[in-house]
Amino acid sequence: MRYSDPKHIDVSENLNKNRCLSCGTTENMYRRRYCSLECRQRLRYNLNMRTGLLRALSTKYATFYFTESMIILDVLPYGSAELFSFIFPRSKGKKPSEDYCTMNNILGNAWWAEKRRTNKRYLATQHILEKANSKNVDAKSIKPIEIKEPVRMGKSLTFLKLRKNDLTSPKLQQVIKKAYRQQAKRYHPDLGGDAAVFRKLHEAYLQLIQWSENPVFISRRGFPDKWFYYGSSNKWIQPAPIKVNIF
């Protein structure tokens, strides 16, 4: 894959939200955001294994996303009022994770070549940023969304066939009790159900009721349709759910 001049690429191509956010497939996606857990983990692994370039560019925030024809890496360095976009064409038959690795290698090799030539890290960084399409931005306008999610409620929600959005209901305890009664009819031993499953169902019910009396959330940052890099943690974060409650 060769580096493409971002000035000759239309980056306005819309992303299809029915595509897997890791590989782009549309097969059997329905309302899912990823085609499989393995696919999501593979892209995150490749992103996290190649953060050296972002550190060299003194990156505060970065996002990675893709369309059918291109991959895009947006970088906001610390102390900068400019957003730098690296845009590469997709390779036929390649997954976005593979294209990202190739792009990262090209830019990384160019950085090291300039570093060896000048013996100056800042000149190597400047050399790479000059390859990007840049624009002045308000740092606040690209600040990632901060969302709050319930702490460790996933399994309990699954047992009661509830969704995370249900936890924001003003009548939460009624919602939990109704869901519990519905599942109890199916799994209660006195009605021919599985005793082991019913015990887990009852434990999930008690956990959710207890949580509803003192809700505890965790905070994280992200974007709905882009992988997000946070310089302070030096880690990539998967796209945040599209339907979230922002506090």
Q: What pLDDT does 37 receive?
A: 87
Domain locations in the chain as residue ranges: 6-144+222-237, 152-215
Measured CA to CA, the distance from residue 62 to residue 72 in angstroms comes to 10
Q: What pLDDT does 244 receive?
A: 40
Q: What pLDDT does 8 receive?
A: 45
Q: What pLDDT does 193 receive?
A: 85
Q: What pLDDT does 62 receive?
A: 92
Identity of the amino acid at 36: S
- Enter the pTM of the model: 0.66
Identity of the amino acid at 127: H
Q: What pLDDT does 138 receive?
A: 66
CATH number of 152-215: 1.10.287
Q: What pLDDT does 140 receive?
A: 60
CB 87 within 8 A of CB 6: yes
Mean pLDDT, consecutive 10-residue stretches, the chain (247 aa), reads 45 57 84 85 92 95 92 92 92 92 96 97 96 78 67 79 83 92 89 88 90 76 84 88 44
